Chain A
Amino acid sequence: MPKETTPRARPDHPVVSATGLTKRYGDLVAVDAIDLRVRAGDVYGLLGPNGAGKTTFMRMLFGLVRPDHGTIEIDGIPVQPVPVRALDGVAGFVETPRFYPYLSGRKNLELLAKLDGSGRSRINEVLEVVELSDRAGSKVREYSYGMVQRLGVAASLMREPRLLVLDEPTNGLDPAGIRDMRALIQRLADSGLTVLLSSHHMDEVDEMCTRVAIMRRGQLAFDGSMSELRGRAGRATRHLVTSDDATALTICHRTPGIVHAEREGARIVFDADDVAVERLSRELVAGGVGIRLLHAPTSALTTLFFRLTDIEAGADEEAA
């Protein structure tokens, strides 16, 4: 095997650097000419709906899938053609972590430690971190989904990574599991790890990430800091139920700051910031319309996410 001599973590290189990264599956362009940089210390969220290309991007990052065009580098080392050179110091999982079901959790970690050439001495420690010490002797086929997720995190931590890559780490977990997983990721990030995580939950990214890229149909719809994203997320989607929806809709259309107003079943749906909502409330009352319900089921960030990732709703101009 060729020996790796390139110094790691060169300060002039981002930890992850993708340039023109493209992957096609037949006619489907899963990832379309993406340029993306993750800097050391970032907790970088890769956000997008299912099928946006997040997982394909991560598979290319891990060298599991070869890009058709473009390059992806980790610490300045190209992932292809020999991924193992670039993946030193990188750990994580793509989609649900997978293990040998006929072996125990501990035995699986021991096998992985052999494939790493190290980490065996850390098995007890990482099992304790993910609170699997008591079940480490059980076969993985007996594990719940959440336990397999936690074993995936344990297997990642064994590598003492500088870059942790997690693909929808809270997917399928119950609320307590989600809370614990987020807390763990936050703690790891606080310890200095660079974290790249994908999600389709804006609130998750909002809670944990410092930077975010939003993917839509294989392309980047947004790439920047969370504060930049929050700055663009002025309007949240609101639901309105009134005593006279026809009149209320007319008032919505003429009230400044109320956009995308339309009837949706027995309610009116529109996007607005808080100031516009105040103005609308006064107009409705002045127009003799009784307000039965007015609330925002999603946050402004989530609304922006939907706008950025929903081409059919005419969101291209929103993203621009």
Chain B
Amino acid sequence: MSSTASLETPTATASQLTQRRPGVGAVYGVELGKLVRQTKVRVISLVMIAAPWVFILLVLHQDRLPLETLYGRYLKTTGFATPMVVLVVAAQWLLPLIASFISGDMFSSDDNHGTYKTILTRSVARGSVFWGKVLAALSATVVLVLAIGASALLAGLVCVGGQDFISVGGTLVSPGAAFADVAVSWLSVLPGVLGFAALALCVSILTRNSVLGVVVPVVVGLVCQMYMFLNAWDTVRHLMLNWTMTAWRGLLDDPSYTEPLVRGVLVSIVYIALFVTVGYLVFRRRDVKEG
């Protein structure tokens, strides 16, 4: 090692150290930086964003339409149907998968790389590390979901056109109102998606295993989906995150109703708070023995 390079004797004072101590924002920036530099995140994100284009192009080149899917019959009639069909399909399993994919190894990846001992011995408090990671996971999930929605809308408009839209209640809607309906519908699934993301974060912390962090929320989503197919208790059904992601249908009905959406948002908030709190308590107290 170099014997010529010099190192100055440290002279920082306590107040200087205090003033420059970073917090949640620094961790948030670091985590986002790590996310966008991961090849798997880039590839999966591109595939997800490109998928609606492939989907609508394939539909336009075949005779049959997915009539059993809500808005499927209008795919060749108006471009606004594309993002709605994508939303109907994605809400069943794809959105939970996206949430898990982003959040499921947000904490466990540092376990796998043994890097907790690296970042927890710097100048950020453990609580800041936790909240920075949570915010990065949730915001990246939101951005990816909205990017897919925007891509689907753009694909529909470019490939089919911006014709009038038909609401769930059968009313003809102008392109301007249709755009608002699509936007509100995609925005309304975000609380449920974030609920799955919070579950993935919690599993990631509890198991320290990236595979489980991704798989468990998806399996939970599928089990809930199966329950929703059953003629079972509505009370339980309404407490499921999947259910909250279908609440937008009430907004597009004629007349519209908001009760499912409000209930869905509240249920999602409870789940998010529960999973994040459990994760926080475990993360704050855990010993870093590995790595």
Residues on A facing B (Cβ under 8 Å): 1, 3-8, 25, 59, 62-66, 82-84, 87-103, 107, 111-112, 114-118, 125-126, 128-131, 150, 155, 157, 159-162, 180-181, 183-184, 187-188, 191-193
Contact = CB atoms under 8 A, between A and B. Distances in A.
Interface stretch (B113-121, B155-163, B231-239, B270-278): B113-121
Nearest to A84: B125
A59 B14 contact: no
Interface in B8-36: 8-14, 17-18, 20-23, 26-27, 29-30, 33-34
14 contacts: A5-B18, A64-B116, A64-B288, A65-B287, A66-B285, A91-B121, A93-B118, A95-B291, A100-B115, A101-B113, A115-B124, A117-B22, A160-B8, A193-B9
A102 B38 contact: yes
B13 to A, nearest CB: 7
B39 interface: yes
Contacts of B127: 1
A161 B123 CA distance: 12
A268 to B, nearest CB: 43
A115 B10 contact: no
Contact of B123 (A8, A64, A117, A126): A117
B146 to A, nearest CB: 26
Contacts of A111: 30, 33-34
A129 B14 contact: no
Contacts of B23: 1
B1 interface: yes
A112 B122 contact: yes
A25 B5 CA distance: 43
A7 B13 CA distance: 8
Nearest to A87: B121
Contacts of B120: 62-64, 83
Given A82-B125, A183-B3, A4 B17 contact: yes
B289 A59 contact: yes
Contact of B12 (A92, A128, A160): A160
User: Which of A8, A97, A98, A131 has the most B CB atoms < 10 Å from its CB?
Assistant: A98
B37 interface: yes
Q: Helix, strand, loop or mixed for chain A's interface?
A: loop
A88 B17 contact: yes
A309 to B, nearest CB: 23
B288 A98 contact: no
B161 to A, nearest CB: 42
Contacts of A187: 3
Nearest to A90: B121
Given A115-B119, A115-B122, A66 B287 contact: yes
A157 B128 CA distance: 23
Contacts of A184: 1
A84 to B, nearest CB: 5
B113 A116 contact: no
A159 B1 CA distance: 19
B287 A129 contact: no
A65 B12 contact: no
Contacts of A131: 1-2
A297 to B, nearest CB: 30
B133 interface: no
B22 A128 contact: no
Nearest to B23: A1
A103 B37 contact: yes
B115 A157 contact: no
